[in-house]
Structure 1
């Protein structure tokens, strides 16, 4: 019988929160800025070899962080971190295919795709933090919320198991229609710019338009939130420590987005991936009970 995660733990992370949380976020931001403005300041297609090297670096860094966590805060937090990390990796793998579909729909050139994906991580830092923070508060206040999360995971896993592949084109997506309706949008791509200024066709005055790069960015961010509705509750079934959940999530996302160019070409061959992921979700949901 699996033990229910302790929702009343008083972890050292919360007692010494400022320097631990601040240090982690600062390191991630430095890595992102280094990636965007130093290593990839020139717009070029990321090769599969370079993609795998980046992914290997982030995975080694994630494991080193997990080792520090284990040594500093104990085996329980260490084991939970690595478990959460690998769960997030497995559940988020399919996200890469969705990202490739979005980027292809907006005709984002390959030399700009890395920039879109990594600027997106800035949004992930915020949105995952909000979701994990709210989930943690709910579970700390109401223990039974964890069982709702578990039921949601089981339901999602079963639904995924019997769900047929959706061949609906991106142009039919309500999300795409909404953004195109409410944003000034142009099909024109001007380098790696997310916005461009052009004269309005009627008034002739300068107007700022969102480029396909920005449209792809916000669609990817929105889809990440939807995918997180599966992965975040799954990790809460392992541990309720916010710092462990957050850091494992961020490291997994950094690693996956780094290997995007190496793995998207073969994702379509993984015909049975959704069945494996559905079993993982059901298993984790049942673990709580």
Structure 2
């Protein structure tokens, strides 16, 4: 049975949860309480602050828990952050599809991120319980990530074709009265004496259910880098902090990050292989190696995972910027 107990001191974990809760309250409900379109300078300040906080947190992990948990955190945070950037493509499509006013988009993102935090927390708890009891699930996680990586690099994802409402949203439209016009941040509005739901309800549910699909990629990926639920959770939280500012800052550039899917496919494929190797080490298969775990294949060290992630994501970002500059010169 695989142990998933954290190596981090309990006092440090409690302090971390308090600080992260404070970060989210300030980021989503104090700074984000007034609907507005943030300036580029405001976005850059927030993003820089949360990136620095993540780097400092990793340093504190190194100090209090050791180098291995710290490297696992940095690897998980970079992976989750990269996947979050890729997911911004879908957020842009959703906002456009439902014609969310610019001044309300920050508020919508705030609520959507809060929903994402709750959903990912539940997925992490479920995932930790599963991997601690059934290590063979790594075969499934690994295979899923490899298939996802192939789809990303081969263009199998249909995100660029536009957002399509899922069954839950279509059922909701058939059951309740929904107006086509927004009424500020209100979920309900009165028109000619009749109460209607505003499109804001549909937008919230769309972002929430979409994030569930995102979790199917991100949660297996993070468990391929660490089995520590505390590191899994903090990696996700730091990846979500500042995401709304990143949305506005990169909104006009997302379609120019042409090589980001390639970088993500390398990361997901690498983690998928890492998971399968770990599964081979921890499981007995009657049709393979005479029913004994395979120990001859060397395990992939945590530091190598961090190097691959940095090179893949950094390389894809640099290649995208070079391609963008080349296109500008040709014009």
Instruction: Write the mapping of 1:241-256 to structure 2, written as runs, cut at 5 A.
Output: 241-256=228-243
The separation in 2 between residues aligned to 1:91 and 1:247, in whole angstroms, is 15
Q: Residue 6 of structure 2 corresponds to which residue in structure 1?
A: 11
Q: Residue 35 of structure 1 corresponds to which residue in structure 2?
A: 27
The separation in 2 between residues aligned to 1:47 and 1:254, in whole angstroms, is 17
Q: Which has the larger radius of gyration?
A: 2
Query: Is the 2:189–2:198 contact (alpha carbons within 8 Å) kept by the matching residues of 1?
Result: no
| Superimposed CA distance per residue, residues 157-187 of structure 1 (whole angstroms, 9 cap, x where no aligned partner) | 1122223463544466545424423443222
The separation in 1 between residues aligned to 2:28 and 2:153, in whole angstroms, is 38
Aligned pair partner of 1:177 in 155, 170, 173: 170
- 3-state SS of paired residue (2:241): helix
What's the TM-score, normalizing by structure 1?
0.86
Q: Residue 220 of structure 1 corresponds to which residue in structure 2?
A: 207
Q: Residue 258 of structure 1 corresponds to which residue in structure 2?
A: 245
Aligned pair partner of 2:82 in 83, 90, 111: 90
Instruction: Write the mapping of 1:1-289 to structure 2, written as runs, cut at 5 A.
Output: 7-13=2-8, 16=10, 23-164=15-156, 166=158, 168-170=161-163, 174=167, 176-193=169-186, 195-198=187-190, 206-207=194-195, 209-288=196-275, 289=277
The separation in 1 between residues aligned to 2:188 and 2:165, in whole angstroms, is 26
The CA RMSD measured in Å over matched residues stands at 2.4
Structure 2 residues not aligned, in runs of 5+ = 278-331
Query: Is the 2:38–2:245 contact (alpha carbons within 8 Å) kept by the matching residues of 1?
Result: no
Query: Is the 1:52–1:262 contact (alpha carbons within 8 Å) kept by the matching residues of 2?
Result: yes
Cα 1:183–1:31 shift into 2, 3 Å = farther
Cα 1:37–1:283 shift into 2, 3 Å = closer
The separation in 2 between residues aligned to 1:198 and 1:25, in whole angstroms, is 41
Structure 1 residues not aligned, in runs of 5+ = 1-5
The separation in 2 between residues aligned to 1:145 and 1:22, in whole angstroms, is 30
The separation in 2 between residues aligned to 1:235 and 1:141, in whole angstroms, is 17
The separation in 1 between residues aligned to 2:155 and 2:29, in whole angstroms, is 42
Query: Is the 1:32–1:118 contact (alpha carbons within 8 Å) kept by the matching residues of 2?
Result: no
Looking at both structures, which has the greater relative contact order when contacts are Cα pairs under 8 Å and sequence separation is at least 6? 1
The separation in 1 between residues aligned to 2:15 and 2:169, in whole angstroms, is 37
Runs of 4+ in structure 1 deviating by more than 6 angstroms, as ranges, are none
Query: Is the 1:120–1:221 contact (alpha carbons within 8 Å) kept by the matching residues of 2?
Result: yes
Equivalent pairs, count? 275
The separation in 1 between residues aligned to 2:219 and 2:94, in whole angstroms, is 23
How far residue 66 of structure 1 moved from its aligned partner, in angstroms, is 1.6
